[in-house]
């Protein structure tokens, strides 16, 4: 069966760019293969140095992903650090990874360009990510556009390892849903925590409404016809409603006499009601942390079965006895 793997860093709060770009495709992928999904807490350590927040973010991320539709009955769902084999594999992979390959990776290059001193963790971030993917012999990795490079690096590392030691690893394919590759934020740029233009999935109603009402628009007057495809409002709206409702909004844009304010209100309503069942589920899970913990432990056990088989093979070929 097709093995689909993806990880998400526990960032504290997730936004609709994360949801549309990666979480929803991941949830939907449970229909067509076996999903391996984990919370990438070890990756967060490259930039977060507050232990208490780290721990809390990890728990929140477990809850959020379960609330948003990761189904532990069908999928393998775990916390990255619960499978220590991933750190061991990172070391084996490090030794077939050229420094030049990592120097070309964007997170490190960005830090360099901004004059931010990079730690070794940030530099070798893609090797840990390669270990995540290769440890579980994944076939497909659904990611946002910004993570494509990391999956390509993973393939390079796997090829180098296989060339040196024989065919140990499956080569993964990145999968980027084109229609939703980059979700714009409230200022029209890519939605991202770093740009302060996000709309949080589980934000407070007042705050979410304010953010949506604050979406930057052009000064076209209410009466004038507008091109829906040039509007951030429409481009997000159509991802939350069925085709009929999307077509109706597009039509109103084109007809004129439809202001951005009104469109924003509709967008808010669509988003707020879309996440209603997820908010409810999240409330239930937050009140039942024992259950969340049971799922976490059972998931790690299942993940470890696959991980230890891979590690056994790797140790054998590299000669670690
Ligand atoms: P941020 O840019 O807010 O820091 P992350 O880098 O933590 O977000 O992204 C986590 C995941 O969500 C990644 O797989 C990324 O590709 C996806 N993602 C983030 N922002 C967007 C966006 N605006 N459009 C599509 N996908 C996104
Ligand atoms: N680096 C990814 C991100 O920032 C998270 C991640 C870690 C991941 N390991 C992975 C994604 C393995 C896919 C596969 O979003």
Atom of ligand 1 minimally distant from the CA of 180: 25
CA torsion 67-19-211-275 (nearest 10°) is -40
Residue 9 covered by a domain: yes
CA distance 107 to 91: 20
- Check whether residue 270 and residue 306 sit in a common domain: no
Ligand 2 mean position, distance from CA 245 (Å): 33
Cα–Cα distance, 137 to 135 (Å, whole number): 6
CA-wise closest residue to 194 among 4, 6, 9, 2: 9
Quote the distance between the C-alpha of residue 123 and its chain's center: 20
CA proximity to 302, closest of 72, 134, 128, 59: 72
User: From the alpha carbon of 129, which atom of ligand 2 is closest?
Assistant: 9
Residues 148, 45, single domain; the answer is yes
pLDDT 10s digit of each residue in the chain, 321 long?
A: 899 999 999 988 999 999 998 899 899 999 999 999 999 999 999 999 999 999 999 999 999 999 999 999 999 999 999 999 999 999 999 999 999 999 999 999 999 999 988 999 999 999 999 999 999 999 999 887 889 999 999 999 999 999 999 999 999 999 987 767 789 999 999 999 889 999 999 999 999 999 999 999 999 999 999 999 999 999 999 999 999 999 999 999 999 999 999 999 999 999 999 999 999 999 999 999 999 999 999 999 999 999 999 999 999 999 999
Q: Tell me: do 103 and 157 sit in the same domain.
A: yes
Supply the CATH number for residue 212's domain.
1.10.240.10
Counting the structural domains of the chain, the total is 2
Determine the pLDDT at residue 179: 67
Is 119 in the same domain as 217? no
- Residue 261: domain span: 203-274
Distance CA 160, CA 179 (A): 33
> 156 CB under 6 A from ligand 1?
no
- What pLDDT is stored for residue 307 in this prediction? 98
CATH number for the domain harbouring residue 107? 3.40.50.620
For residue 41, being part of any structural domain is answered with yes
């Amino acid at each position: 069966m097709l093995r689909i793997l993806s990880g998400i860093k526990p960032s504290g709060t997730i936004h609709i760019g994360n949801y549309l770009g990666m979480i929803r495709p991941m949830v939907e992928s449970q229909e067509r293969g076996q999903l391996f999904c984990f919370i990438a807490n070890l990756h967060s350590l490259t930039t977060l140095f507050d232990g208490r927040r780290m721990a809390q973010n990890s728990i929140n991320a477990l809850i959020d992903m379960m609330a948003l539709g990761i189904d532990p009955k069908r999928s393998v769902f775990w916390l990255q650090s619960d499978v220590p084999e991933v750190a061991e594999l990172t070391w084996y992979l490090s030794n077939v990874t050229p420094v030049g390959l990592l120097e070309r990776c964007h997170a490190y290059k960005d830090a360099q360009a901004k004059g931010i001193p990079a730690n070794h963790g940030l530099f070798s971030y893609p090797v840990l990510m390669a270990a995540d993917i290769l440890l579980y012999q994944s076939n497909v990795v659904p990611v946002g556009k910004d993570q494509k490079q990391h999956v390509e690096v993973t393939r390079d590392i796997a090829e180098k390892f296989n060339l040196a030691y024989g065919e140990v690893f499956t080569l993964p394919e990145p999968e980027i849903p084109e229609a939703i590759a980059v979700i714009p934020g409230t200022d029209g740029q890519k939605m991202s925590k770093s740009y302060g233009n996000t709309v949080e999935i589980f934000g407070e109603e007042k705050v979410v409404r304010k953010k949506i009402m604050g979406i930057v628009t052009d000064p076209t007057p209410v009466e004038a016809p507008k091109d829906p495809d040039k509007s951030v409002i429409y481009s997000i709206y159509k991802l939350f409603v069925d085709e009929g409702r999307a077509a109706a909004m597009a039509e109103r844009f084109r007809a004129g006499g439809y202001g951005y304010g009104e469109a924003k209100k509709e967008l808010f309503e669509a988003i707020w009601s879309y996440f209603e069942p997820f908010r409810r589920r999240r409330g239930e899970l937050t009140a039942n942390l024992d259950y969340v913990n049971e799922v976490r432990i059972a998931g790690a056990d299942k993940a470890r079965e696959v991980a230890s088989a891979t590690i056994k093979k790797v140790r054998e070929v590299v000669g670690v006895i």
